[in-house]
Structure 1
Amino acid sequence: MREDGGGEGKSPASTETPVTGTGARLGTGSDIGQGHAEIPPTGSDIKTSDTEDPPTGSQVSGGEEENSSPSWVRELGLFPFAQFTTERCSYILPMEGEEEEVEGGGTRVDLDRTDFGFCVGEIEVLVQSPEEMDSALRKIEKTAQRLGLSGDRKVPGKMDAYLQKFRPEHYGKLLSAHVL
């Protein structure tokens, strides 16, 4: 499920998303934390920034990087107000008692790190129908327990974290308008 309640991403495990279309796959997700200490190393050295400056190459107030934007974006006079890079590592965690992943038996764990120092994780189980939701939610909760995590706090999404850090006035206006 997406942060906005859509089809993928970060929301508490208790949120449901309707299945649409023939053979649709429904994702259930649960945030598993933020911060470098909570996310296990992934084998790659990722540099992060603790400064208050946006990531190198980001243009948050003008269209200086027009060459990187499609022509239709420039024609509409659009410019980026938030630009960052995310590196994602995805893992399949077999269910307890399984030595390796069996078709449909494990859970997917995604760990994201942004170039501005924000980290977030997600546990996901795919289901074929709404009837499988309860089972999928139990798998997510069991996986979170195995990883020593709880779902008792809401974890912000990457864009929320970016706006809080680099555009706090804009973020405050979005909160005041109940957009976030």
Structure 2
Amino acid sequence: MQLPTWAAIMATIAGLAGIATLISNLGKIFSAVSSLLSWLTGRLKDKDAAQGLPKRTIVAVQQSQINALWWHLGRMGDRPMVQVVGDFNTTNVWTDNVRLTGAILRYRHWGFRSHTVRGDASVKDLRSAYSGNYPIPPNEMTRVRVGFHYLLKHRTPGKRFRADLAIIDQFGNHHWIRGLVFRHTDAMFD
């Protein structure tokens, strides 16, 4: 039996809508599975941690200025490169000096595919105007700037993009700050 033309068109549209719904739900499913795996690996890692080492040594809060979180596009030779920078007020909550060894930036591409980039952390010395690999004394707060440089392998981020960031201490602890919004330098006041 042959369907009338309008019925065939409606059936095609319904089929396409079903496929679109399935694809959008796959992103949510992948995100949930990724979150579950991250949570499980975090729990297993805590059990393997050496006794006597602290699990939490710092607390970092985004600085309040408008340009505390930014990104810009540059070039490395003929290839496009992204620079991402964040400024944080960071307090040592442990009983001894803490040194920061780096940072991790994690963002999503296409809604469910996660990308991770390693970067540097630069600590402002409390006794001078310089920044570098300085310790943060107990119960003291200082400015920390994290920076990431990576080759652009897919589309350029929008004027704003959301990412999670971890500052890593000398013990390998990842201190996560989630849901940060980085703005392009040209869109700082948009």
Q: Whose Rg is larger? A: 2
What's the TM-score once normalised by structure 1's chain length?
A: 0.27
